[in-house]
Amino acid sequence: MDAMAKTSTTTQGLRSAIERSGYYPALVAEAVEAAVGGEPIRSYLVHQETTFDQNEVRRHVTVLVLTGNRFIVSHTDEQAADSTSPTPYATTSTESVKLDRISSVVVSRVVANPEQYKPGTLPREVVLTIGWGAVNRIDLEPAACGDPNCDADHGYTGSSTADDLSLRVSEAGDGPETVRQALAFAQSISEATADLTR
């Protein structure tokens, strides 16, 4: 398959995945396609999630797209009518990140019965965390010395973690195909960022 045909297939696949999510597909697709522009798509992941906020059910969708030069994140949330809007509304945002800005790709896999694990078995859940420096989380705690009787102030110690995007998919909640797609996308973005260091 030549590059042009593969790009067309990937673009159609992304559009179909957005439509299958059933979550404002015209709105989501337009935002994603505008962010991608004419670049060929290497990989994508569409993840719809339902959350419960007090007495309300809220849905949102995240679309991740990898092109040859960029990582694109699109997020769409729906909101109920409120004091600023008499009708329900949705908010869509896209962020485009150059691949050379991605500093970390973390893939956490949760596997049931690890003693019986066989290579190729699908994890029960996958958490994909991608950092590019836009958001950092700092965890601090009081520092201490080894003397149990010491009451001096030793300041603080802690760690800083890139936490720009964290996406969790599970076999039970999202289905095995979504878990497979999350792993495939994670591999694609890991390979793309590794290619930049060669």
How many structural domains are present in the chain?
1
> Residue 191: what pLDDT?
93
> Residue 2: what pLDDT?
39
Query: Considering the domain boundaries, does residue 14 fall inside one?
Result: yes
Band of residue 150 on the pLDDT scale cut at 50, 70, 90? confident
Query: Considering the domain boundaries, does residue 167 fall inside one?
Result: no
Band of residue 149 on the pLDDT scale cut at 50, 70, 90? confident
> Residue 148: what pLDDT?
81
Residue 115 has pLDDT above 80, yes or no: yes
> Residue 88: what pLDDT?
87
Based on the number of CB atoms within 10 Å of its own CB, is 101 exposed (0-12), middle (13-18) or buried (19 or more)? middle
| Residue whose C-alpha is closest to residue 18's, from 40, 44, 36, 37 | 44
Residues 31-48 pLDDT 10s: 999 999 989 999 999 998
H helix intervals, 138-175 = 171-174
Query: Considering the domain boundaries, does residue 3 fall inside one?
Result: yes
The stretch 136-150 carries a mean pLDDT of 73
Collapsing DSSP to helix, strand or coil, 121 comes out as coil
Domain range for 27: 1-99
Band of residue 3 on the pLDDT scale cut at 50, 70, 90? very low
Query: Considering the domain boundaries, does residue 27 fall inside one?
Result: yes
Q: What is the pTM of this model?
A: 0.80
> Residue 10: what pLDDT?
81
Bridge partner residues of 134 (DSSP): none
Residue 179 has pLDDT above 90, yes or no: yes
Query: Considering the domain boundaries, does residue 192 fall inside one?
Result: no
